[in-house]
Amino acid sequence: DRVKIRTALLSVSDKTGIVELAKALAEQGVRLLSTGGTFKALAAAGLDVTDVSDVTGFPEIMDGRVKTLHPGVHGGLLAIRDDAEHVKALTEHKIGTIDLAVINLYPFEEVRAAGGDYPTTVENIDIGGPAMIRAAAKNHAYVTVIVDPQDYPQLIEALRTNDGETAYALRQRMAAKAYARTAAYDTMISNWFAEALDIEMPRYRTLGGVLSQEMRYGENPHQSAGFYLTGEKRPGVATAALLQGKQLSYNNINDTDAAYELVSEFPAEKGPACAIIKHANPCGVAIGSSLVEAYKRALACDSTSAFGGIIALNQTLDAATAEEIVKLFTEVIIAPDISEEAKAIIAKKPNLRLLSAGGLPDPRSRGLTAKTVSGGLLVQTRDNGMVEDLDLRVVTKRAPTDQELIDMKFAFKVAKHVKSNAVVYAKDGQTAGIGAGQMSRVDSARIAGLKAEEAAKAMGWAEPMTRGSAVASEAFLPFADGLLSMIAAGATAVIQPGGSMRDEEVIAAADEHGVAMVFTGMRHFRH
Ligand code: 5GP
């Protein structure tokens, strides 16, 4: 299953490591063929290299759009070496076999990420490269294909130890990688088109990414896991810089994303905000006159659950806030930026993962989210609905006070980021109790109330914060029972989408208790 490499075709846009590889190949007596730019780089390094035009008898034309698309190249890559007909064709048409193809593609992803204009981006769609990669990979019984400069050392080592030959297993692995590469490449191109033409749900939705991190394990230790980057430039866990601490785990990444997306609902210019997350659900969210105050108020909601949590801030982490945070065991902090003093304080806790995101994501921006089901991919646009943009309708006799309205909106924003069924009590820009993920809305309302009572005990308050609070339900209240449970916890104002068959019944119960209720007309299920 070993194949001696006699002729190699090198055609690379990213020239990293190509001279070293070519030198190693030359040492093994391999004949080198190359395209224009790569040829120049190799010749400049003093290597003996043949221009592929000399092989095809055809010049590069149309600004390089056609360089290697020629039977002289593709015949050499695709010929079955022990098939008499194929060998005859090679001889008849004077085609030499190519045993190794080292190719990396026009930098489409980089040009797209750099915001290249339409024609520039289109011009960076590689045609001949993917064709050669696919041809070489198909013929992996005889041909070795290398698409990633990271694989050069492995190839050099294999050739040195095996007398210039490659093993079948290596060629197979590289072929698998090659098709993953061309698939990912075309995915990026089709996604760019979908974005440019504003097609949200094309018939073929391709999702793809490049592995940026392999974790020790997934959600559980017996699961393997990796983090793939899609190239979307949204500030957040995927693009943030890790300033200290170990690599993020699968659960850390999931929870940090939830935390940062939630805190980004509160724009920095409107004042400091903090969200503390456990298992992708918030256990406290608050705004404050300073960042440290926002943190303390978020923590007060459920300081027991906050242990080992993820903290997201909407402003630069400062020294005062860092001093408070290090008092408690925390897994991850993410903020748009970190002050030098804060970095020094956090450094005393070397295991604490500190992420600087460089900015806040725009909660109104569009994008896609996906999850897998067996045999399918569920894809939807991001939930970018904002309570500020909705026409709120007062449905009760009593209208909410100004403060109640502010608290309602705050609670509804948080509820959008809580697993359904979500019930969130809030008062003065601080969550007072959060009920998450229950199968019954009444249970979520009750649990939130109970947690608020526990928090009051822990903090030494006379009464739970839910007394005189506003409460949000992320989906409509199907019966009056949930509302009664909220009223029992002390809520005086309720915000919910409305639209239940029994809205009248629920409104009547609210009126009976003098509670103000507002309908948003928008639901925020989160499963
Ligand atoms: P070079 O820098 O050597 O001139 O060009 C290398 C790049 O050209 C590689 O990224 C390779 O994938 C690409 N390439 C090779 N052949 C062709 C072709 O026939 N058409 C196009 N569009 N690109 C090619």
* Residue 463 and residue 455 in contact, taking contact as beta carbons nearer than 8 Å: no
Query: Is ligand 1 within 6 A of the CB of residue 60?
Result: no
Query: Is ligand 1 within 6 A of the CB of residue 12?
Result: yes
Ligand 1 atom, smallest distance to 66 CA: 19
Q: List beta partners, residue 424.
A: 434, 472
Query: Is ligand 1 within 6 A of the CB of residue 108?
Result: no
Q: Is the pLDDT of residue 231 over 80?
A: no
Q: What's the pLDDT tens digit per position in 16-60?
A: 999 999 999 999 999 999 999 999 999 999 999 999 999 999 999
Residue 126 CA, ligand 1 centroid: distance in Å = 7
Strand 7-12 relative to strand 31-34, pairing? parallel
| Averaged pLDDT score across all residues of the chain | 96
Residue 56 CA, ligand 1 centroid: distance in Å = 15
Active site residues: 138, 279
What are the CA-CA distances from residue 196 to residues 60, 116, 230, 283, 380 (Å)?
A: 30, 12, 16, 39, 18
Residue of 9, 58, 126 to mutate, ligand 1, most atoms within 8 A of C-beta? 126
Average pLDDT for 132-144: 98
How far apart are the C-alpha atoms of 381 and 239, rounded to whole Å? 20
Q: Closest residue (by CA) to atom 13 of ligand 1?
A: 129
Q: Is the pLDDT of residue 191 over 90?
A: no
Query: Is ligand 1 within 6 A of the CB of residue 305?
Result: no
* Those residues with Cβ within 8 angstroms of residue 59's Cβ, 6 or more apart along the chain or in another chain: 53
Q: Which two tokens stand for residue 153?
A: 């050392």
Taking every pair of Cα atoms in the chain, the longest distance, rounded to a whole number of angstroms, is 96
Q: What is the pTM of this model?
A: 0.88
Q: Closest residue (by CA) to atom 9 of ligand 1?
A: 12
Lowest mean pLDDT among 225-234, 250-259, 428-437: 225-234
pLDDT of the residue at 230: 84
Residue 230 CA, ligand 1 centroid: distance in Å = 24
Query: Is ligand 1 within 6 A of the CB of residue 37?
Result: yes
Q: What's the pLDDT tens digit per position in 69-86?
A: 999 999 999 999 999 999
Q: What's the pLDDT tens digit per position in 350-365?
A: 999 999 999 999 999 9
**What is the ipTM for the molecules in this complex?**
0.96
Q: List beta partners, residue 33.
A: 9, 50
Q: What's the pLDDT tens digit per position in 478-513?
A: 999 999 999 999 999 999 999 999 999 999 999 999
Q: Closest residue (by CA) to atom 10 of ligand 1?
A: 105
Q: 43, 29, 5, 38: which is closest to 145 by C-alpha?
A: 5
